[in-house]
Amino acid sequence: MHNEFHSNERLIWKEEGRRKVFSCPIFSIQERICRSPDNDLRTFTVLDAPDWAIVVPVLETEAGRKFIMVRQWRHGSQELSLEFPGGVFEPGESAESAALRELQEETAYTAGSIRKLGDCSPNPAIMSNRVHFFLAENLKPLAGQNLDEDEYVDVELTPIEEAFHGIGKPPYIHALMGTALALFSQISPP
């Protein structure tokens, strides 16, 4: 409960140092030494990764508007996931450029218009990065996918209502897809 008589300053920890304890191509793990509001010194583990972009591509078809989604194997959950295209920013890449690149690579579509829906922290307790969500419309097909060597992705046209009703049940298992749907529903209720 917010109390107007107290400052938020009493909740803020001050970082006094950090140390990288592990690194791989997609993230690193850091120990961050922080001082509490009560002046206690504690160490916290943080997963440090580049920002991500997720694209909500909407295709106008004769049967109505549909999402272009991708089905792929997820190693963490050990199951197939049906989700919006997305991925990690390349070094120096803007959020919009990353979104357009991921859309083209994974779906073989390009967007005539793209706009940011919002961004958030995927897990602020342990992760330092942000995920940026975009709406892509006026889609045009390209010659083919341009997948990374370890990507195996099927493209599917999914009725918008099906995605909304399916979230939280296989194959709609990716939690960030729920955030993407919530942001999409702010501009286009299902």
63-97 burial, b at 16+ Cβ within 10 Å, e below that, comes to eeebbbbbebeeeeeeeebbbbbbbbbeeebebee
Residues labelled as active-site residues: 149
Direct distance between the N- and C-terminal alpha carbons of the chain, in angstroms, rounded to an integer: 32
Cβ pair 81, 173 in contact under 8 A:
yes
In whole angstroms, what separates CA 56 from the centre of its chain?
A: 11
Cβ pair 106, 84 in contact under 8 A:
no
* 142 phi, psi to nearest 5 deg: -110, 180
* Helix, coil or strand: residue 41: strand
User: Which alpha helices (DSSP H) does the chain contain, by range?
Assistant: 95-107, 160-166, 175-187
In whole angstroms, what separates CA 68 from the centre of its chain?
A: 16
